[in-house]
Structure 1
């Protein structure tokens, strides 16, 4: 029997894998799932890599905010373990609810955009490796391609709000367009600054450079890190930038008219974008998947260290909900067009200077 190569190597599971590969029907399926590009899409850093931290991060966001505000937070489901599986209960509820389309909505766009958005939000994962042997596509320009795909995603949100033909959705859509214009240029400049600094858009070379010099990208260019961190919060509607979906004055902004499973997808999209952008941040600034090699895990050792970084950063973004009030639109635009734009230009100049002074980086 011929097998797809290369396959992800997991030593502690290898006896079981070898046995399953010999089973007539199951063997080809196991081989297909362990084929490196498919493994990267379905497991890490793909769908499973998204949903496992997503369940806990949603619970953590609600629980941490509740504790800071002297509330209990989610508790009714799995009370004995602190309501940690409440997000799973919410997923089941959204799945079983009826999807209602109001009379004035553009039905085709109204239904399809959230589905496209959910899928499109994960496209950058195809170009963001989880380790030296766990990746879907390697072009040598992966960082640049991933950044461009992240930037295009917001068009889906704008079209979703427009298709609702609702005044609250319309206001939220306009806010999204304003915010998109304010953070997109600083975000792209911060990514370009790191590409200039490392002299490549290849994530493998970037991580190797950080490991070789024992200096993460956040230390090499702290200005670019600050800009990328803040623009990530703005792009994913994390506090204090929950302006597009501010529930105190806009219900849920562009997604006000959505319900059932479609609303569940729209709610997940912001967390998807947080996950993908945090993945990019970890590779550019935090050393990526660098860490001690764990023999029994094999090729999963690197994704484990990358996952720890992504998980901690996502938890920090979620905790901001408990300690920061939301900005007004004019305040956020001022931060984007004045402060962040200037800082991002400075970060590019910083990278050029560092590159000229220390060409070995």
Structure 2
């Protein structure tokens, strides 16, 4: 019915998707756990009432739910309310919808099952839900925050809600067809827009849009392999972004995991510049170190740009008022 060409194309698509997914998963499999996965999952598992608590970024529910969010261990990942309007439309969609009854029942089961997984270990300690699947399915690699699965709950709720809205529009069309002339009046047209307007209103957010720190001019001229100081899990992510102008090799790195060798590097260079840290960086093949004075304020490298280096066999150069370049070779 579909033809062998379409079937072969579909098969190739599945193989390509699986292959790319496997390549993406390999680095995760090589990284050792720094914290037991079950401990992190238990900490980040949201309570059931978090499904009714709005995030701080919501203009409608952000302020009214501020006290409720304080009861959550990690409100940034646990304030999961997708919208009371969506809940209401989905509920209506169970009884009044263009979808067939068995379609609605399947969607209801999908909502409940995905909600159970979203609760992580909150639901019967996750023994028969989240924990057995974690780490065994390709899509669960590194997903130690169950609340992020709220995306699936929202999707299934939206499909249920769409059935209700579509049925409302269908009834409106039938009502308009029985009129003379056969077209909807202005109030009927406006009524069909009410669900959309309510969803948009409740979804109105106040998400901040912070400005990315300006790239130091030295990042566009210094070659690697290099280390940028200060180095920390969060600040290294900015350094990684800065490095995209030249893509030089850098020892900085940050992400969802903290490899042991990265933690060892940060410990070993705390006293830079000194003989031990210089030797350690040379053993890694790092030839230059860029110190950013402004960012280093209040860190172990606060005065690193002023320490004598003559006895270390390295050179120091002030590139500008904020950047100090050390050459180790």
TM-score of the pair, normalised by structure 2: 0.25
| More helix as a share of residues | 1
| Larger RCO: 1 or 2 (CA < 8 Å, sep 6+) | 1
TM-score of the pair, normalised by structure 1: 0.24
| Structure of higher CA gyration radius | 2
